[in-house]
Amino acid sequence: MTEQDKFDKAKIMYQSEEKCNFLFEHCWNLLKDQPKWILRDAAKQRKTMVPPPTPTTTPTTTPSPTRNVIEDEVVELDRPMGKKAAVKKRKVEGKQTEEIIQLRKMKFTLLEEAQAQEKEYFRLKTEKMEYDKKVEDERLRLLSEKLRIEAEKTELAKLQLMFLDVWTQFHRKSSVSVIPVA
């Protein structure tokens, strides 16, 4: 018996019990392969069948819609979330959102502190560079002053030598030409 034969037989049975035609054939075609209906059919088959075979028996090779379903396996079906679960989820997401906001605020605060420290670092670095420049300028000024003083000393030494030379020549002349008057 094919699937279509089974469906036709079910439609006839529905019409005899409900006294009207089955109007949801298009829905059945969409839903018949969904996990919920496959599990439901498998459960019905288990109830009407002899106890399930032991695991040591070999599986049958005939394909069936319940073949992919393991009897002890729990299958999570995609269902809409209930009201309580939705409220709980919103609360959890709200807490997570608050935590994320708190973490972002902390991150922002840390970034501001890091930026302030970086500004302070560059301010101190600039200050140090200015101080080093002043120290270097002062060192150059003192070196220049030292060279000027050395040049003046050298010039003074030359003048002293010239003065001594003139003085010694003057004294030689005066000692020779000076006649004591008695």
Residue 182 has pLDDT above 60, yes or no: no
| Higher-scoring residue by pLDDT: 50, 33 | 33
Domain annotation covers residue 149: no
Give the pLDDT confidence of 115-140 residue by residue, as tens digits: 999 999 999 999 999 999 999 999 99
Domain annotation covers residue 26: yes
Hey, CA dihedral for 110, 116, 117, 119, is it positive or negative?
positive
Domain annotation covers residue 107: no
Q: What local confidence, expressed as pLDDT, does residue 138 receive? A: 96
Segments forming the whole domain that contains residue 79: 3-53+64-83
Contacts of 63 (CB under 8 A, 6+ apart): none
Domain annotation covers residue 74: yes
**Gap between the Cα atoms of 120 and 89, Å rounded:** 46
Domain annotation covers residue 89: no
Domain annotation covers residue 124: no
In the block, tokens 């101080």 appear at: 131
Q: pTM for the complete prediction? A: 0.35
Average pLDDT, the chain: 81
Please report, rounded to a whole number, the percentage of residues in the chain having pLDDT higher than 70: 77
Q: Which of 40-44, 46-50, 110-114, 128-132 has the lowest mean pLDDT?
A: 46-50
Domain annotation covers residue 71: yes
Domain annotation covers residue 31: yes
Which whole-number Å values give the CA distances from 152 to 54, 157, 164, 165, in the listed order?
119, 8, 18, 19
> Per the structure, how many domains does the chain have?
1
Per DSSP, 24 falls in state -
Please report, rounded to a whole number, the percentage of residues in the chain having pLDDT higher than 90: 34
Could you tell me the pLDDT band of residue 62, with boundaries at 50, 70 and 90? Answer: very low
Region 68-91: what's the mean pLDDT? 70
Contacts of 39 (CB under 8 A, 6+ apart): 69, 75
Max Cα distance, the chain (Å)? 181
Please give the structure tokens belonging to residue 129: 């560079």
